[in-house]
């Protein structure tokens, strides 16, 4: 038997904690929900697992990889859109050879899957559904062969678990329709045609974790041993006052911290002097400040949920709660080297270029009316954030003023709209023989000399030598809201483009090094996205992006600088 | 051959026979894809990347440009057989929200 775990990652019931990662990766007693489920499947003798993902798939993929470290053979189905459980199965039909156990990645239970599989097999069922024994008793339904009437009773109350076993013959009946669900559509279809569908009751724990309270409760009870997951071993430490403490990897707790009840401390957590912790969960990478008192709650970075007053708050005082990361020495060293190189190189480059700048300034003055420099307003380090379901650009500060050599006739910005109508322009769309460009401007652009004054911004520390090209504010907004769409029905790349806004700004980068304006708009967008990805990957995930991981290091930085320099000197297309 | 094309009941499978699909092969790939989409007016393409161990952003850019062209003709490009590092690239650049990705060719063909 193989297993299929469906985890589209769209469940928002544990927000705000799951803003940064999918719910399936929410740790229960310091272990992601999905890990617990996978270990249980392994105990039941299952080896092949397919995980169907949609939102933030990289968190799951990168954590479990091919599954070999937990003794499983895991593969993934990454879905472009989530269109119901039926569609998820239809997409991976060739994986399903005989029977499969299908589980939602966002539920947690300690049901004995081996027992369930045996029950299914011994009854020759085409599908076996699961619910609680209490439900069966209350609704007066007998465990065993299911009929439409009994199915309706349980289904109307939505009391079937998100766990079921189904035969390949059953999967063949899945219709390729949007929103086609297994429990809601396939099962009644099978019942109507008289196929043997069974229901099995359990007294085991099962929860879809629909609230943070439920989550908090589960954590406390598991540490106390009131709920047991046979597949995982817990060794909470018991202190002199009888408190149970579970501590994750790389966490630092000051010796003066006081405990009471059950306390779960995640990975890479730092708890400062004199803090008092009682019946609480502290999630990974959280710093808890000096003398902070935490009771009956779930805590993560700046979020605090109090189980007593049932309220999630955003902690306003960043000194007390903040993100905490153990940064390895190599990373700190690389970042120091990059920063120093930025300052030193830009300082000497500006010094050496001074004579060139003076000549260029004179030429601009002679060539056309107007100032030598053009002040370009570009976003500082734009951040994107999510408010409800809407993304927006979040600017910490005002745009920075960038001084570049003027290459256009004055009033060019006012004519951008006129041009947009005349030519196909937009983010990353460069116009050939742009009539706005002056004669000398054409040469400056071709040689990229016009952008050299940006070295001043590097010296000031506003940007790096290597990073993402700073887009003018209007282009950045366009990109974020429209992607690269020219008209309705055009390919929408806004999701891809958004990634770029997470990166550090810089002069040299992938697209400058690999073809510059010879590239299509899509190719440029992708290079920028990649650049941003490289800067943001966690070093612990070094192997995740293969050789791209290198670019985050000092070696990669130098390589990129050199590649861009070579490309500019060889003049492969202008910026 | 760096690339091979086969026809499966009107759906064209473009197989990339490279371990490293990078900028060095973009020109050849782009021409091949454009020939299918623009000259031959093909509307259903599956790009089989099962041999590929590394893909760079230039190559991905070329695939996206191809999708943009075919989408304008009301066609689609589906991706099949991603090895782990390549799949990571599709995930983290959010390209999985642009392309439909399958593990097996058979499933990709069925999806049209």
What is the domain partition of chain B in residue ranges?
Answer: 3-110
Complex prediction ipTM:
0.91
Question: Is residue A85's pLDDT more than 60?
Answer: yes
Name chain B contacts of A66, Cβ cutoff 8 Å.
84
Cα A454 to its chain centre, rounded Å, is 32
Question: Is residue A223's pLDDT more than 90?
Answer: yes
Q: Which of B94, B98, B99 to mutate to test the interface with A (most CBs of A within 10 A)?
A: B94
Instruction: Kindly state the DSSP code that residue A68 receives in the 8-state scheme.
Output: G
- Taking an 8 Å cut-off on Cβ atoms, the answer to whether A92 and B107 are in contact is yes
Q: Which residue has the tokens 């990361």?
A: A325
- Taking an 8 Å cut-off on Cβ atoms, the answer to whether A493 and B64 are in contact is yes
CA distance A278 to A257: 11
Q: Which two tokens stand for residue A63?
A: 């954590």
The answer as to CATH 3.30.750.24 being correct for domain B3-110 is yes
Residue A156 CB contacts under 8 Å (≥ 6 apart), including other chains: none
The residues pairing with A472 across neighbouring beta strands, listed in sequence order, are A378
Interface of B with A in 28-57 (CB under 8 A): 53-54, 56-57
CA distance A371 to A376: 13
pLDDT band at A321 (very low <50, low <70, confident <90, very high): confident
At A432 the pLDDT is: 58
Nearest residue, CB atoms, A80 vs list B68, B89, B97: B97
The residues pairing with A376 across neighbouring beta strands, listed in sequence order, are A402
pLDDT-above-90 percentage for chain A: 35
At A129 the pLDDT is: 94
At A323 the pLDDT is: 77
pLDDT band at A389 (very low <50, low <70, confident <90, very high): very low
Q: Which has more pLDDT, A368 or A349?
A: A349
Q: Please give, rounded to a whole number of angstroms, the shortest distance from the CA of B59 to a CA of chain A.
A: 8
Q: Which has more pLDDT, A30 or A556?
A: A30
Report, as an integer, the average pLDDT of A392-411.
69
Question: Is residue B16's pLDDT more than 90?
Answer: yes
Nearest residue, CB atoms, B97 vs list A490, A495, A519: A495
Nearest Cα neighbor of A321 from A337, A298, A296 is: A298
Residue A16: cis peptide before it, omega within 30 degrees of 0 = yes
Report, as an integer, the average pLDDT of A485-511.
76
At A408 the pLDDT is: 82
Is any Cβ of chain B less than 8 angstroms from the Cβ of A520?
yes
DSSP-derived 3-state class of residue A108 = strand
Q: Which two tokens stand for residue A229?
A: 């997951």
Is any Cβ of chain A less than 8 angstroms from the Cβ of B89?
yes
CA distance A261 to A278: 6
At A168 the pLDDT is: 92
Is any Cβ of chain B less than 8 angstroms from the Cβ of A145?
no
At A25 the pLDDT is: 93
Residue A326: cis peptide before it, omega within 30 degrees of 0 = no
Report, as an integer, the average pLDDT of A412-424.
53
Is any Cβ of chain B less than 8 angstroms from the Cβ of A252?
no
Q: Which of B19, B57, B107, B112 to mutate to test the interface with A (most CBs of A within 10 A)?
A: B57
pLDDT band at A564 (very low <50, low <70, confident <90, very high): confident
> How many other CB atoms sit within 10 Å of the CB of residue A11?
21
**B82 touches B63 (CB < 8 A):** no
DSSP-derived 3-state class of residue B80 = strand
E strand intervals along B49-98: 54-55, 76-80
Is any Cβ of chain A less than 8 angstroms from the Cβ of B21?
no
**Listed range (A23-27, A220-224, A418-422, A444-448) with the worst mean pLDDT:** A418-422
Torsion of CA A283, A288, A294, A296, to 10 degrees: 0
**A64 touches A38 (CB < 8 A):** yes
Question: Is residue A381's pLDDT more than 60?
Answer: no
pLDDT-above-70 percentage for chain A: 86
| Alpha-carbon radius of gyration of chain B | 13
| Cα-based angle A355, A358, A363 (whole degrees, multiple of 5) | 130
- Tens of pLDDT, residue by residue over A162-197, are 999 999 998 888 888 888 899 999 999 999 999 999
Instruction: Kindly state the DSSP code that residue B56 receives in the 8-state scheme.
Output: -
Cα A393 to its chain centre, rounded Å, is 17
**Listed range (A130-134, A328-332, A481-485, A516-520) with the worst mean pLDDT:** A516-520
Is any Cβ of chain B less than 8 angstroms from the Cβ of A10?
no
Q: Which has more pLDDT, B42 or A303?
A: B42
Average pLDDT, chain A: 83
Task: Please tell me which residue of chain A has the smallest CA distance to B104.
Answer: A94
Report, as an integer, the average pLDDT of A324-349.
87
For chain A, list the domains and their CATH numbers.
2-207 (3.90.550.10), 235-323 (2.160.10), 329-569 (no CATH)
Name chain A contacts of B31, Cβ cutoff 8 Å.
none
Q: Please give, rounded to a whole number of angstroms, the shortest distance from the CA of A420 to a CA of chain B.
A: 20
Report, as an integer, the average pLDDT of B82-101.
90
At A350 the pLDDT is: 93
- Tens of pLDDT, residue by residue over A52-67, are 999 889 889 988 989 9
Torsion of CA A31, A33, A35, A40, to 10 degrees: 110
Q: Which has more pLDDT, A498 or A92?
A: A92
Question: Is residue A284's pLDDT more than 80?
Answer: yes
Question: Is residue A574's pLDDT more than 60?
Answer: no
pLDDT band at A369 (very low <50, low <70, confident <90, very high): confident
CA distance A362 to A137: 91
- Tens of pLDDT, residue by residue over A444-492, are 887 778 888 889 989 988 888 888 887 777 777 777 777 766 666 677 7
At A510 the pLDDT is: 80
Interface of A with B in 451-490 (CB under 8 A): 489-490
| Helix (DSSP H) and strand (DSSP E) numbers for chain A | 18, 29
CA distance A151 to A149: 5
Strands A2-7 and A99-104: parallel
**A40 touches A48 (CB < 8 A):** no
Is any Cβ of chain A less than 8 angstroms from the Cβ of B112?
no
> How many other CB atoms sit within 10 Å of the CB of residue A477?
16
**Listed range (A5-9, A235-239, A370-374, A548-552) with the worst mean pLDDT:** A548-552
E strand intervals along A370-471: 373-378, 383-387, 390-394, 400-405, 464-466
Q: Which two tokens stand for residue B44?
A: 């259903």
Identify the burial level of A424 via C-beta atoms within 10 angstroms of its C-beta, where 0-12 means exposed, 13-18 middle and 19 or more buried: exposed
Name chain A contacts of B65, Cβ cutoff 8 Å.
520, 522-523
Question: Is residue A397's pLDDT more than 70?
Answer: no
Question: Is residue A124's pLDDT more than 90?
Answer: yes
């Amino acid at each position: 038997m193989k297993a299929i775990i469906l985890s589209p990652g769209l469940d928002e019931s544990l927000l705000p904690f799951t803003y940064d990662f999918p719910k399936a990766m929410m740790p229960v007693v310091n272990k992601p929900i999905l890990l617990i489920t996978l270990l249980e499947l392994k105990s039941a003798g299952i080896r092949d697992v397919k995980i169907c993902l949609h939102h933030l798939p990289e968190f799951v993929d990168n954590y479990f990889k091919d599954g070999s470290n937990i003794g499983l053979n895991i593969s993934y189905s990454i879905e472009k859109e989530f269109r119901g459980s039926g569609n998820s199965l239809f997409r991976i039909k060739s994986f399903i050879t005989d029977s499969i156990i299908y589980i939602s990645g966002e539920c947690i239970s300690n049901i004995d899957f081996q027992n369930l599989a045996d029950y299914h097999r011994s009854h020759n069922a085409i599908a076996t559904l699961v619910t609680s024994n209490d439900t069966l008793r209350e609704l007066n339904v007998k465990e065993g062969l299911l009929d439409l009437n009994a199915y309706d009773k349980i289904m109307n109350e939505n009391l079937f678990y998100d766990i079921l076993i189904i035969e390949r013959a059953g999967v063949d009946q899945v219709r390729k329709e949007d929103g086609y669900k297994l429990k809601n559509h396939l099962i009644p279809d099978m019942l109507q045609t008289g196929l043997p569908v069974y229901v099995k009751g359990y007294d085991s724990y099962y929860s879809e974790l629909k609230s943070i309270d439920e989550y908090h409760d589960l954590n406390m009870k598991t540490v106390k041993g009131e709920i047991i997951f046979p597949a995982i071993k817990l060794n909470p430490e018991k202190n002199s006052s009888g408190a149970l403490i579970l501590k994750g990897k790389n966490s630092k707790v000051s010796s003066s911290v006081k405990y009471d009840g059950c306390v779960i401390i995640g990975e890479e957590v730092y708890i400062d002097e004199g803090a008092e912790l009682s019946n609480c969960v502290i999630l990974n990478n959280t710093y808890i400040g000096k003398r902070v008192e935490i009771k009956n709650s779930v805590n993560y970075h700046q979020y605090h949920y109090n189980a007593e007053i049932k309220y999630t708050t955003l902690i306003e005082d960043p000194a007390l709660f903040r993100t905490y990361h153990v940064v390895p020495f190599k990373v700190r060293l690389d970042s120091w080297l990059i920063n120093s190189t930025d300052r030193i190189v830009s300082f000497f480059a500006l010094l050496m270029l001074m004579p060139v700048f003076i000549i260029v300034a004179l030429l601009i003055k002679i060539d056309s009316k107007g100032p030598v420099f053009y002040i370009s307003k570009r976003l500082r380090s734009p951040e994107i954030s999510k408010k409800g379901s809407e993304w927006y650009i979040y600017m910490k500060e005002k745009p920075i003023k960038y001084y570049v050599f003027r290459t256009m006739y004055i009033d060019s910005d006012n004519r951008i709209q006129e041009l947009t109508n005349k030519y196909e322009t937009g983010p990353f769309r460069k116009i050939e023989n742009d009539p706005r460009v002056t004669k000398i401007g054409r040469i400056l652009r071709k040689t990229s000399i016009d952008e050299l004054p940006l070295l001043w911004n590097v010296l000031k520390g506003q940007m790096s030598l290597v990073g993402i090209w700073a887009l003018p504010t209007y282009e950045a907004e366009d990109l974020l809201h429209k992607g690269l769409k020219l008209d309705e029905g055009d390919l929408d790349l806004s999701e891809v483009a958004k990634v770029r806004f997470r990166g550090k700004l810089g002069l040299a980068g992938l697209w400058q090094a690999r073809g510059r304006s010879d590239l299509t708009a899509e190719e440029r967008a992708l290079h920028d996205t990649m650049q941003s990805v490289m800067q943001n990957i966690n070093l612990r995930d070094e192997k995740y992006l293969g050789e791209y991981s290198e670019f985050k290091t000092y070696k990669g930085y130098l390589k990129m600088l050199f590649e861009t320099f070579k490309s500019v000197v060889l003049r492969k297309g202008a910026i | 051959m760096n690339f091979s094309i086969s026809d499966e009941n009107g759906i064209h499978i473009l197989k990339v026979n490279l371990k490293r699909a990078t900028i060095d092969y973009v020109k050849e790939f782009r021409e091949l894809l454009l020939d299918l989409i623009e000259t031959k007016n093909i509307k259903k393409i599956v790009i089989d990347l099962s041999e590929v161990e590394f893909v760079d952003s230039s190559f991905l850019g070329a695939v996206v440009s191809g999708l943009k062209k075919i989408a304008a003709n009301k066609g689609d490009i589906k991706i099949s057989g991603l090895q782990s590092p390549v799949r990571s690239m599709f995930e983290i650049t959010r390209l999985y929200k642009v392309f439909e990705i399958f593990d097996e060719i058979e499933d990709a063909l069925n999806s049209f």
